[in-house]
Structure 1
Amino acid sequence: MVAARFAWLLYWLGYSQIKVMIGRTHIPFEMSPSGSIRLPTSSRRPQAVITCDELISQFSCSTTKFIDVRTYREYSGEITGYSYIKTGGRIPHFEFDPLDGIYGEIDGNLTWQELQGYLELMRQRSPNYRQYKRLIYMCGTGWRASLAVLFADELSLADTLTVLDSGWYEWSERFRNSSCTPP
């Protein structure tokens, strides 16, 4: 989970060919004399993250595909998947990902063969995604969607890949139970 979020952060900052590696590897970043890593202070891919407020304006865009990578039980509202998320449900316009929450099953104990298998599964089950210019992924809080974006980038599924920051967690708190629910 942490590796996916960190890899997505690097993606957002503009690093190319980000991969979640298995095992230890050399870190190709500039190190300061104190040993800390120096990262850029501004994003080279600001479009890689979208807030709930910004999302509303994207609903009318016909070149954008909205993908919910949670499990079907979360998507249907049967469960929230988190002890701290009060309400279940889904965001309008987001379609259920046919991989049925597979990103939540991926952990740091993967073999290279398993990783390749997940990529092939995504390739097989998301071929029509290439017709869209932008894919916006969401999950409960953002880490599964971050992993989905990294896989989609590896498969070149769209020109612009985006994670809904805070996902269903923020959306449900801000819009689900208020009078300002967007269309």
Structure 2
Amino acid sequence: MSYENQSNGSGKAGSYDTLSVLAWIAVAILALNVSYFVGEEVGGQYFESGADILPLLSGITIGLLKAGPTIFIAFALADFASFFGRCGKGDVFTARNLKTLRQGADSLIWAAVTSAVIIPAVLGWAGDETSRNIFSFTDLALGVGLMGFALHGLAGVFEDAIVLKDDNDQFV
């Protein structure tokens, strides 16, 4: 029986499906953004180096590094899209959804760490003039990281709900 049938046709399944589609659209937009970051770095290296392979590989690496937070946020959104898709099919309080929720939270934390620590440290080590600090805790990085920690807390509540659901299912 689907969630929509269990909830007397309230349309929650459609809402979850809509959230899933919107999250997948956001993943596609972020993929375009990543291609822009990488293309910007590679394009600059191509014109400066005359298409030598090492500067181009360096450009790809630096572009992917700079796009790291965006990549991790896209992973989180892909997890949430899958989560909402399963909820739309009636699979709500499951171990698989708990794992997906935790993976999404981890991706947000990694996006923050990449933005605030890894990018500034690596670019500073590589001699990039734009990165002089070892740490760069922006409001955005801090907010994304804290959202990841909050989702881990929510996952703990979700885990308790799964245990309660399993206990209730044994009595029915």
Richer in helix (by share): 2
TM over 0.5: no
Richer in strand (by share): 1
Q: TM-score, normalised by structure 2?
A: 0.25
Q: TM-score, normalised by structure 1?
A: 0.24
Larger RCO: Structure 1 or Structure 2 (Cα < 8 Å, ≥ 6 residues apart)? 1
